Structure 1
């Protein structure tokens, strides 16, 4: 495990998946991150690469060849190398190898950098295409947060999600595990969204952000604690398991989507796929404020 610490927060990150596992307030010992209780969901905050969501039949094609890949890709299950480390910052690295090429036939360099400043944790990802051809990919993050935070006198349904800018967003419905991009529906977020377990009866609430900088805050009137995630991404998922009444919620910046209900299986034309030119780099990031 890698630990970052300043006057306010202590952060723990596992090189397995470069996964954030704990963010604890130094004064109150309040724990913000989900515990990865396998009875509900056995992860804390995985990264999603080289796909987001599920592929139809868990497979896709590139250049006429079929490859198998399960939901959210393989990066979350690979051990990253610690490339650089200091007291309040660390960079993890994952590079293509024989194992990854069996699932994804591209050479890549993925780095994840965490930087802790006061009450804020910044997460920066860089993906470099090390091929002489264009590389299709998706990327996402999936941090889960305790509800209540550290045992506050509240439960899941006492929390709300506030989104800024306040506006009506387009929501991408999910049909089973697949995106139905042709039937997006409006979601009025000019007012806070009350969290209920039934909100996730049809899986995640997937907001279209159109790469606009957006802040999503989870808080309760019962106390002063919460988190705020700021990102400029194409999409953001809000998720908690259903019908399990799990005591956590995930806020998920996505640079990609699960396969569309009308997907052909061709990775090049996959819905919301990113493309990276030969030897070019893609940068994505977000920051989380803990209060």
Structure 2
């Protein structure tokens, strides 16, 4: 089932499966900004990542001496959320633990995703994780929205760029296979806009360490007036990704509160690098917003 939000300028559609953002169009231009989920390239639009971001070593982890198995990016994206609150410009969707989730993630939780259109035509996305258990829970969460590039016919992927503000030198994390190797950190200089080139993604995503500092990210065509701006409030990382070797007509901008296992991870969930832990009855909130021009 699709949930629709709208105001005078923007129409937004969200699937209850995974609480996934599937469509954003402007009324004045009819321009569709979200990736179409063509399975020949990548069969998703904007999955929400929970309770892990990235991959676990061997797709497994240990908690209280028991081994659990979980695939890349967790299970939220493949579960039906309940629509618990709705207006014309806001929707709150919710996933709670079940027998099925507890077989791979032995924690009681409530995971809400709130979408809100503002008067400024900005779409806010907020993640709210609540610990409904009697002990600490451990988790990561993140966004993975994909945007059409190019946005209009006659344009090329390489006509577009990504700009990260504030302009400075960011620490860039690198993956070895699917795992993080902190010994390979380099520098990403955002003084120079990142021109989109497929070869830059040969070794997976470009990953910037944000250290919970706010950033704005612009995805747009050079010298033109259409694109997307992402405002990230407090994420630990930002991923920029398109599948290598496919010449795919989209790119993802991914705010993460967590990251893949390190190459030397011991597999114990509470030891996991950049994991979040939450005490009973406490709530975690992470947010980002999108504007479409």
Q: Which residue of structure 1 lines up, in the alignment, with residue 128 of structure 2?
A: 126
Q: Deviations over 1:16-53 (max 9, x none)?
A: 00000000111111000000000000000000000000
Please state if 1:260 is matched with 2:284. Answer: no
Q: Which residue of structure 2 lines up, in the alignment, with residue 282 of structure 1?
A: 284
1: CA distance, partners of 2:183 / 2:62: 23
1: CA distance, partners of 2:281 / 2:157: 45
Contact 1:158-1:222 within 8 A present in 2 as well: no
Shift of 1:223: 2.5
2: CA distance, partners of 1:206 / 1:226: 21
Contact 1:91-1:112 within 8 A present in 2 as well: yes
Shift of 1:182: 2.6
Shift of 1:152: 4.4
Q: Which residues of structure 2 form unaligned runs of 5+?
A: none
Shift of 1:153: 3.1
Q: Which residue of structure 1 lines up, in the alignment, with residue 12 of structure 2?
A: 11
Shift of 1:81: 0.2
1:3-82 equivalence runs, <5 A: 3-82=4-83
2: CA distance, partners of 1:98 / 1:169: 42
Shift of 1:222: 4.8
1:78-157 equivalence runs, <5 A: 78-117=79-118, 118-149=120-151, 151-157=152-158
Give structure 1 regions of 4+ aligned residues with deviation exceeding 4 angstroms: none
Q: Secondary structure at the match of 1:275?
A: strand
1: CA distance, partners of 2:277 / 2:182: 19
Q: Secondary structure at the match of 1:272?
A: coil
Q: Secondary structure at the match of 2:24?
A: strand
Q: Secondary structure at the match of 2:29?
A: coil
Q: Secondary structure at the match of 2:217?
A: strand
2: CA distance, partners of 1:148 / 1:196: 13
Shift of 1:183: 2.2
Please state if 1:233 is matched with 2:238. Answer: no
From 257, 263, 273, the equivalent of 1:271 is: 273
Q: Secondary structure at the match of 2:200?
A: helix
2: CA distance, partners of 1:107 / 1:14: 24
Q: Compare 240-249 and 216-225 and name the one that shifted more.
A: 216-225
Q: Secondary structure at the match of 2:158?
A: helix
Contact 1:153-1:222 within 8 A present in 2 as well: no
2: CA distance, partners of 1:221 / 1:126: 36
TM-score (ref. length: structure 1) = 0.98
Q: Secondary structure at the match of 1:11?
A: strand
1: CA distance, partners of 2:89 / 2:225: 25
Q: Compare 249-258 and 116-125 and name the one that shifted more.
A: 116-125
Q: Which residues of structure 1 form unaligned runs of 5+?
A: none
2: CA distance, partners of 1:214 / 1:50: 24
Shift of 1:154: 1.4
Q: Deviations over 1:81-115 (max 9, x none)?
A: 00001101000000001010011000000000100
Q: Secondary structure at the match of 1:60?
A: strand
Shift of 1:119: 2.0
